[in-house]
Amino acid sequence: MNPILSVFETSPDRGRGLARDMRVRWALEEVRQPYDVRLVSFSALEEPAHRARNPFGQIPTYEDGELSLFESGAIVLHIAEQHSGLLPVDVTARGRALAWIFAAIDTVEPPIFDLDIAGIVEGGKPWHAERKPMLEDRVRTRLRELAAWLGERDWLEGEFTAGDLMMVTVLRRLQGSDLLGEQPGLAAYVARAEARPAFSRAFASQKAVYDNAEGRSA
């Protein structure tokens, strides 16, 4: 039995691979683990069957035999632990990769998320224009710090790990803003990751769900 990933039936990201199932799809593609998807409508997110899989009524969820998981970071970590290729075996290198997973979710993603959500929720408010520079500066600070670490490296710790996978999915949420372009090293880092065949396969399968729902040919 393949693991089952719950994803949006019609993703608001319009097939741009920005919803958080993308990082799980990408991890599964990196380790060549086939999977099935359960398409979930917005109303189904509220239903008891889905709440049993995710107490917060969100996607993605992941079922593998007896194991049912929610939280994209926990799912990617589980996949990386079950298969070789996304976490180094050496305990020191593994610790560093884990640190980058947490850095992506807990240090870099929050200011990016806040900026994105402010645009969606407060965009029409008269005070949004005053608040936006502060939100952008919080993102700029993190990007500058991350770019300083990355320097001339291809990946955060030499070889590609689940830490890079998580970080790139976080940075991709800046698509449509100029902030990533202000750090050419980070923009190149994202492009390098997007050029990985596993990323392309994950992106195509996420987009196919959207195209299918919209009645487009993929």
4 vs 93, beta carbon nearer ligand GTB: 4
H helices of the chain, in order, are 21-30, 48-53, 72-82, 91-102, 109-121, 128-150, 162-171, 184-194, 197-213
Q: How far is the CB of 108 from ligand GTB (least distance, A)?
A: 13
75 vs 97, beta carbon nearer ligand GTB: 75
142 near ligand GTB, rule: CB under 6 A? no
Question: Which tokens in the block code for residue 183?
Answer: 């750090």
72 near ligand GTB, rule: CB under 6 A? yes
85 near ligand GTB, rule: CB under 6 A? no
Whether 174 and 18 have beta carbons less than 8 Å apart is answered as no
Q: Which residue is nearest to ligand GTB (CB)?
A: 58
CA distance 168 to 170: 5
Q: Using CB under 6 A, which of the segments 70-78, 145-153, 163-171, 196-204 binds ligand GTB? A: 70-78
Whether 67 and 37 have beta carbons less than 8 Å apart is answered as no
18 near ligand GTB, rule: CB under 6 A? yes
CA distance 10 to 209: 7
Residues that bind ligand GTB (CB under 6 A): 12-13, 18-20, 45, 57-60, 71-73
